[in-house]
Structure 1
Amino acid sequence: MIKKFLKRTAIFIASLVLLLVLVLTIIPYFFKDEITDKIESIANENLNAEVRFDEIGLSVFKHFPALIVYAKNVNIVNKKAQFASSNVVKAEAAAVGVNFYSLLKGKIVLDAVYLDDANLNLEIDPKGNANFNIVKPSKPSADTTQTEFKIKKVVINKTNVSYNDKSTLLKFKVQELNYKGTGDLSADFFDLNSNVKIKSFDFSVAGVDYVRSKPINAEIVTYIDTKALKFKFERNSIRIKNFPFSFNGHFAFIKGGYDFDLRMHSKNSTLEEMLSLVPPAYDEWREQMIITGNINFGIFARGKYMQDQSEKPVVSADLQINSGTIAYKKIKEPVKDINISAKALIRDLDINKLKFDLDNLSFNLDKKKTVINFHSEGFKKLKIKTAIKADLDAAKFKEALNLNENDIRGDVAVDLKADGIFLRDLGFSPRLNKVDTIIKSIPKFQLNLSLKNGYLKNANKNEAVKNVNLNLSLTAKDSIIRNISGKVTNLNAEALDNFVRGRFELHKLYPFTVDTELESKINLATIHKFYPLDSLEVKGNLNLKVSMHGILNRKQKKYPSSKAIVNIKNGYLKSLKFPNIPIENINVSAAITSNNGTGEDLNVKLQPAEFVLAGSPLKVQGEVSNLYDLVYNIKTQGTLDVGKLTQIFPIKDVTVSGIIQTNLMAKGSKKDLDAKNYDNIKMAENSKLKTL
């Protein structure tokens, strides 16, 4: 008996469901022509744009249980010439929901909007005209059919949005937007509850990217005043990639611009969540790191932004990081106790009104602490106050942050204090003897830096630069750049059998006052074993020894007392850009001396300087002395292809070709030339210049 009853009940329920489906399927088609005609009429009457679609239909199944009128392959086109894209909307499907019960009363009530697989191209031209401003001013309609807009739901699936405001240089791009919004959109004032999922979001202002390729998930409650075109953001929870924050404030469209007060906060988030915002190129690096620490972060923007630039907002940011650690997963010693306290404020979006305060950036690594603070105001006229004290093991720092594959080692100590103004502007340059852009002011500063037991090995090379040591001290006692003084002592660097060592002391930048001793020995053919020479092939032995002491002041005819010896043996140079034009058999033996630091005792000897360029040899040898009463004894012999030489060593904006053939011997002095004592001057020349 029970089985019979259950069977009849099941048949009844199945029949009822079937009847309901038939009713929902068939009844709408009694109203199909009326509804579709009305939708087309609304579009043509209210949109100042061309609307195209392939097909219109009705369904209760596409967005069950809503009754919808849908259109396939929808295009809304704004053909005004000033816009880059004429397609404002291009969608695989667009639909509106129709209240089923209103049809039975002879009315058409639209209560939902659906958009699927669409591309929205929204653009504002430099004058503030929008390509999406396509709604015609409302006019009394001759159609007596009652139609009401009571939109309470908006659903968008897999839609891309491109927004480009050329009047404010603001851009954003959204890929695969999935959105569901509910609220009484037909009211003058209403709350819009939104659920947002975005696969990828890009945001930039004035060409500067602030967000790139980040997914977004958000729950947003927005109070909307449609009469005033004002939006108030309340109780908003947003997550960009893994970084959570809240967003509140208001945004309003006003005549000629925008009025807003927007605040973004992220409180008690983690450093790992914040670093999820790094560009995609660094995602692999981030995934290999162990990151801990707490952060508080906020961005604030308030004021008016007018298209005529008469008013601009204030933007500020605040970042606090406490007790952070970062470490590569494969090592034990992290960078720890990371603490950052920083603030930035910019008024009128003017970089010259930027104020930045880094009150503290500190961390520990292997019981060694680094502390930095930095304060600045302005940009063109940059006021700086900073102090840096660092003690780092370069190898452990590189390993902890997994920076690159190169092997870097050494103990680095830095102590810097600076306070003052940095300014570049037009002024008279004593060096150039003319008005030019010069550095008018620098901060007073004291820098002490040391590197001990330095080591650098390129990951793609077998050999390393090692035993790198130096002590550097730089001082600016006032704001005048020419008064900078400094010295490098204990300079040493070795690679294979090559070395550079010496010291350098600069007493004053202008007039240039130096005290230096430098010596190097380099087998050029071995450089590629420890340093990448991607476009050059070099060979030969270079020996250099320089000793220089004193002042260089051409106006006062003062020169440092100097002794420099340069020797190159069996040199070879080939640019891989011009493999058929090598410079080979380079041999140079040069000595420059000036014992007293005057032009009179300057002596330059070439014994000789010679090379072969693309098969043509050239040799120069001789001696020149006394810069002010020139005494010379010079011999040249050979051929020089000027065109091929300038291919290897190009002269900017100049193209030269031609061949010089020379066989010259010249001996004499400027004193004899001025006195016309030609008997004391010897000259033998057989030189030709071809096809210059």
Structure 2
Amino acid sequence: MGKANKNNWRKALKWALALLGLLIVSLFAIPSMFNDIISNEIKKGINSNLTTKLQFKDSNISFFNHFPALTFSFEEVSLASTKPFEKDTLINAKELGFGVNVFKLIFSDKVVVNQTYLTDCNIYLIKDAFGRTNYDVYKATDTTAVAKDTTASGLNLNLKRLQLDNASIHYIDNANGLTISSHGLNYNGRGGIVDGKLELGSRLDVTSVDVTFNHTDYLNGKKIKARSFTIYDSENLSVALDKNTISLNDLKVNFNGNLDVFENGVAYNLHFKTEDGTLEKVMTALPPKYAEWSKEVTLKGDLEAKLQLAGFSGIVPEAAAVNKMDLEVSIANGTVKHHKAEEALENLYLKFKGDITNERFNVKVDTLDFTLNEERTHGHAYINGKADSLYVKSAIKSHLNLNILNQTLNLPDLSFNGILVADINTDGIYQPQTSRLPKTNGILKLTDGSLQTSGHPEPIKAIELDAIIENNGETYDASTLTIKALNFSFLNNQFTSAAFFKNFDQPEYDITGKGTIDFTALNEVIALPLAITNGQLTADAHLKGQVNKPQSKNTNSGTLSLKDLAFTTDVLQYPVEISEGQFLFLNDKMAFTNLTVKHQSSDVVMDGYFQNYLNYALLSEGVLQGDVQLKAPKIDITEFFPKEEQLSSQTDSITNTNTIENVVSGVMQIPKNLDLAIKVNIDSLNYNTLIITRLSGDLGLKDQGLFLKNSTLNMVEGSAKIEGFYQPTSLKEALFSLNLDAKNLNIEKGYNSMELFKELAPAAAQASGSVSIDYDIAGVLDDTMLPVMPSLKGKGTLKVHNVQFEGYKLMGKVSEKSGFDALNDPKISEITINSTVNNNVLDIERFKFKVSPFRLRAEGQTTLDGNLSLKMRIGLPPLGLIGIPVVIEGTSEDFNVKLGKQSKDLNDETTEANTINTELEDLNKRKEALRNSESTNKINTLQQDINQIKSDSLKTKE
């Protein structure tokens, strides 16, 4: 028996050695035997599926690169990006490998790739400001054709595994200001198809991740470890995320949810939850400067957090059309203390739950409590409703020594001091439409305050705030706000102010302000909630009175000076800069002088006064009234049009290039709540290619419309009187009306400069000479600020003087048909043409003119999109009593000339012009009722009052 066992062991050992030998031989033989088949199929498959070229130094096939997988590898790989980034590299790698299914290869002679490897690689993913990407390298295929022809290629890409070893991935999204760089990335993903659904498991380890958003670092050098399990349902185009865990340094977060892709939109619903969270672990996941700060801080306390994010874009089913953010945070037994501090922030408790669903708020702070230096801060809050109707109940009570808190926290790039006292209670409904405010009683007091950030070397010092708010009646008129002091010192400029407001419906006010504010430096210290970005303001003013009450009760006085002020507004495309300006408060008026304003290349100097300025500033329905004298060396109207960047293709004989240009995208908007009468005097007014000089007249801004009266100007070598109005009806459309009486305009320059001239007088393209126009025209402007032709309605007279036609196709064909050479390229001394425009048709009344030796008569119709139906009569010499009738029909590019008497009427079914008639008539009445600006003498008197004030009153007294 022992001998038999010994023989069996020998046989087994022989077989094992034989199998081992066969395996070793196979490891070398199989790659050699199938090298050509595998190489050809993979190279052919890659070339047929990629839009850019894959370059490599060498290739090999082996079991040993990624044992035990048989791997075909490209070495020293480089793949170029797609257009327009073709000069950039998308991927470079030491190795790009494809794992081949050995059994399929041997028994079916098919190359089935089920694994992909990238080793020591750099991947660059770029998205520019126009949404163009560099990584769309995979050719689009006809999925139906592919499904039917599964044997067309010997290559079968059935990827069950993707492995990245030591990868660096750089994602740059210029459209959204996002940059992500990851280094030392190792990824191993496996998967398969179960019950028609693709299940993917993955493991991700990243040595270092940097995330920058809007120039702020969020994850600088963070380590990430992730485990996930994902189900992809191709039938329903959805991704379900389950059993996912991600680690940001020491903080673990579980997440799950789903992503649903519909025909025209995407919806998502994601849930995140911390796992065994503590304040210390949270700090390791914060932006770099706080992570470093946390190393010097004792952080204790338990933290639990949950976050749900749901949203959608595009068109999705109603059940999926939900925007929601739900956040729960709980902190218990918290302690924060910097190593250098003597006191600790202790007993920190926070219990917060809030969600925002489809613009509805439901926020609850059950507990906010901590102690510092034996002083307790505690409070709670509850908010429910929408922005225009909220129920608010809150209470906060604190006596906080900010000097000690600053030492306790020792925050990076931030230092503050002072004593803060707060005791505020609120309970009730905020509803501005019905003038409701919650019952509120409270005080807020800050003494000996200071604030310094890394943005500026100097701190804001001597901050004093002493405010009391009272409202016991839950209405606007029962409310009072008393600001006993709001003072600070910055850059040796002291600013002091105080204010009292009563009855928020029609506020009684008592406001004082004195000193200088340097907004340029102040914005470097702290981001102000203001549109003002730069400049200085100096004030010495006392305003007292009541809004919407007889002006005799208002005793406003003092001065305000601006210098190098810059601010932005949603209405204008570019920042507005005020290089200088002085204001004087004279009871109900705020006069100003030498207000010098710049907007891009447009320069304006204004003098005048405003009324109702506090009503306008304090109440949303307040209307700012005023009379202004405006002088400008140059204004470019196109700079006030809304614009956006778009791609523009330029083609030449050598190459096609894409450039970026600003194009008009919407009509010029007029600010609300203005009633201004402006006397204008402009040296140069630019409108696209049209240059207007010496424009003077009365301009009115009222009811979100712009009205022009009594104006004169010079353009295209002639002079004109002009009146009209302009009013936007939406962001993409506006109404306009123009009454133009122009003398001796140069036809060539007018045609090249005025788009409307081209449409109403296309024959001017082949004419030289001068023309006079007396025309009333109205209609609609589109989102490129050009007329919508079918909407135009108008009538008037066109007179031409000494016109020479050269190459005018219409007269050339009439000459050819009639046999009269004198009618080709005629010279005409005088023509008077009356016409009307309506429903896209230009009706030309009968008019007469001479082309020696003939007397001609013409009339008819032409549509604004180029259809012609004209009649002419060629009167023969000597007196034109005998004439030849001519009919011209067709389009401006292709028309027929025949001898005859009948021509058809051109009717257009367009009724758009009729729908705006009522609005145009109403705007015209308002233009006629527009008040003129105050006399120059009255405005000059106000300027003298300002100039008589001593300059010392505009400076802060020490």
Coarse TM-score class (shorter-chain normalised): 0.5 to 0.7
1:664-687, Cα deviation, whole Å (9 max, x unpaired): xxxxxxxxxxxxxxxxxxxxxxx9
1:569-617, Cα deviation, whole Å (9 max, x unpaired): xxxx99999xxxxx9xxxxxx9x99xxxx99xxxxxxxxxxxxxxxxxx
Q: Pick the aligned partner of 1:331 from 341, 360, 372.
A: 341
| Corresponding position: 1:341 with 2:351 | yes
Work out whether residues 87 and 121 of structure 1, in 8 Å CA contact, stay in contact via their aligned partners in 2.
Answer: no
Q: Pick the aligned partner of 1:416 from 406, 414, 424.
A: 424
| Corresponding position: 1:119 with 2:123 | yes
Q: Pick the aligned partner of 2:404 from 396, 400, 410.
A: 396
1:504-544, Cα deviation, whole Å (9 max, x unpaired): 655556766467999x9x999xxx9xx99xx9999xxx999
- Alpha-carbon distance, 1:416 to partner: 1.6
- Alpha-carbon distance, 1:392 to partner: 0.5
Work out whether residues 376 and 382 of structure 1, in 8 Å CA contact, stay in contact via their aligned partners in 2.
Answer: no
**1:27/1:461 CA distance change after superposition, 3 Å:** closer
Which sections of structure 1, spanning at least 5 residues, go unmatched?
A: 1-12, 426-438, 567-572, 578-582, 584-589, 600-641, 644-652, 658-686, 688-692
Give the Cα separation in 2 of the matches to 1:514 and 1:656.
39
Q: Secondary structure at the match of 1:180?
A: strand
Give the Cα separation in 2 of the matches to 1:463 and 1:159.
42
Give the Cα separation in 2 of the matches to 1:450 and 1:60.
76
Q: Pick the aligned partner of 1:362 from 349, 359, 369.
A: 369
Give the Cα separation in 1 of the matches to 2:389 and 2:379.
19
Instruction: Work out the percentage of aligned pairs sharing the same amino acid.
Output: 19
Work out whether residues 458 and 464 of structure 1, in 8 Å CA contact, stay in contact via their aligned partners in 2.
Answer: no
Q: Pick the aligned partner of 1:447 from 442, 446, 455.
A: 442
Give the Cα separation in 2 of the matches to 1:477 and 1:514.
19
**1:36/1:479 CA distance change after superposition, 3 Å:** farther
Code of the residue aligned with 2:336 in structure 1: it is I
Work out whether residues 190 and 201 of structure 2, in 8 Å CA contact, stay in contact via their aligned partners in 1.
Answer: yes
**1:253/1:163 CA distance change after superposition, 3 Å:** farther
1:24-73, Cα deviation, whole Å (9 max, x unpaired): 4564133111111112343455x374453335432334323322112353
Q: Please list, as runs of the form range in 1=range in 2, the aligned pairs for 1:38-437 lying within 5 A after superposition.
A: 38-43=41-46, 47=49, 49-50=51-52, 52-54=54-56, 55-72=58-75, 73-75=77-79, 90-92=91-93, 93-105=95-107, 107=109, 108-116=111-119, 117-119=121-123, 121=125, 131=136, 134-137=140-143, 138-141=146-149, 151-157=159-165, 158-160=167-169, 162=171, 173=180, 175-176=182-183, 177-184=185-192, 188-189=196-197, 191-198=199-206, 199-200=208-209, 202=211, 212-213=219-220, 214-258=222-266, 260-301=268-309, 307=315, 311-313=320-322, 314-347=324-357, 350=358, 352-377=359-384, 380-381=387-388, 383=390, 385=392, 386-403=394-411, 408-420=416-428
Give the Cα separation in 2 of the matches to 1:230 and 1:514.
59
Q: Secondary structure at the match of 1:31?
A: helix
Which sections of structure 2, spanning at least 5 residues, go unmatched?
A: 1-15, 526-533, 567-579, 589-630, 633-677, 684-947, 949-958
1:556 paired residue number: 550
1:359-401, Cα deviation, whole Å (9 max, x unpaired): 3222211122222333334664262513222111111111112
Work out whether residues 150 and 185 of structure 1, in 8 Å CA contact, stay in contact via their aligned partners in 2.
Answer: no
**1:164/1:375 CA distance change after superposition, 3 Å:** farther
Work out whether residues 454 and 469 of structure 1, in 8 Å CA contact, stay in contact via their aligned partners in 2.
Answer: yes
Code of the residue aligned with 1:62 in structure 2: it is N
Work out whether residues 435 and 505 of structure 2, in 8 Å CA contact, stay in contact via their aligned partners in 1.
Answer: no
- Alpha-carbon distance, 1:262 to partner: 3.1
Q: Secondary structure at the match of 1:332?
A: coil
Work out whether residues 384 and 422 of structure 1, in 8 Å CA contact, stay in contact via their aligned partners in 2.
Answer: yes
1:189-226, Cα deviation, whole Å (9 max, x unpaired): 4643311123326598xx99996555421122334445
Work out whether residues 414 and 447 of structure 1, in 8 Å CA contact, stay in contact via their aligned partners in 2.
Answer: yes
Q: Secondary structure at the match of 1:330?
A: coil
**1:476/1:68 CA distance change after superposition, 3 Å:** same
TM-score normalised to structure 1 length: 0.60
**1:85/1:247 CA distance change after superposition, 3 Å:** farther
Give the Cα separation in 1 of the matches to 2:239 and 2:197.
10
Work out whether residues 407 and 457 of structure 1, in 8 Å CA contact, stay in contact via their aligned partners in 2.
Answer: yes
Q: Secondary structure at the match of 1:239?
A: strand
- Alpha-carbon distance, 1:231 to partner: 3.9
Work out whether residues 88 and 121 of structure 1, in 8 Å CA contact, stay in contact via their aligned partners in 2.
Answer: no
Q: Please list, as runs of the form range in 1=range in 2, the aligned pairs for 1:509-528 lying within 5 A after superposition.
A: 513=508
Q: Secondary structure at the match of 1:392?
A: strand
Q: Pick the aligned partner of 2:480 from 461, 482, 485.
A: 485
Q: CA RMSD in A?
A: 5.8
Give the Cα separation in 1 of the matches to 2:449 and 2:178.
46
Give the Cα separation in 1 of the matches to 2:80 and 2:62.
23
Work out whether residues 510 and 545 of structure 2, in 8 Å CA contact, stay in contact via their aligned partners in 1.
Answer: no
Give the Cα separation in 2 of the matches to 1:320 and 1:293.
10
Code of the residue aligned with 2:442 in structure 1: it is L
Give the Cα separation in 2 of the matches to 1:315 and 1:503.
40
**1:49/1:470 CA distance change after superposition, 3 Å:** closer
**1:183/1:410 CA distance change after superposition, 3 Å:** closer
| Corresponding position: 1:475 with 2:475 | no
**1:414/1:104 CA distance change after superposition, 3 Å:** same
Q: Please list, as runs of the form range in 1=range in 2, the aligned pairs for 1:601-616 lying within 5 A after superposition.
A: none
Give the Cα separation in 1 of the matches to 2:558 and 2:35.
99
Give the Cα separation in 2 of the matches to 1:464 and 1:56.
66
Work out whether residues 451 and 471 of structure 1, in 8 Å CA contact, stay in contact via their aligned partners in 2.
Answer: yes
Code of the residue aligned with 2:351 in structure 1: it is S
| Corresponding position: 1:37 with 2:31 | no
Give the Cα separation in 1 of the matches to 2:81 and 2:338.
53
Code of the residue aligned with 2:368 in structure 1: it is L
Give the Cα separation in 2 of the matches to 1:103 and 1:574.
80
Work out whether residues 283 and 290 of structure 2, in 8 Å CA contact, stay in contact via their aligned partners in 1.
Answer: no
Give the Cα separation in 1 of the matches to 2:459 and 2:313.
58
Work out whether residues 257 and 304 of structure 1, in 8 Å CA contact, stay in contact via their aligned partners in 2.
Answer: yes
**Greater Cα shift, 439-448 or 89-98:** 439-448
Code of the residue aligned with 1:200 in structure 2: it is V
Give the count of matched residue pairs: 534
**Greater Cα shift, 20-29 or 237-246:** 20-29
**1:341/1:483 CA distance change after superposition, 3 Å:** same
TM-score normalised to structure 2 length: 0.45
Q: Secondary structure at the match of 1:346?
A: strand
**1:88/1:575 CA distance change after superposition, 3 Å:** closer
- Alpha-carbon distance, 1:304 to partner: 6.6
Q: Secondary structure at the match of 2:188?
A: strand
Code of the residue aligned with 2:226 in structure 1: it is A
Code of the residue aligned with 1:376 in structure 2: it is I
- Alpha-carbon distance, 1:240 to partner: 2.1
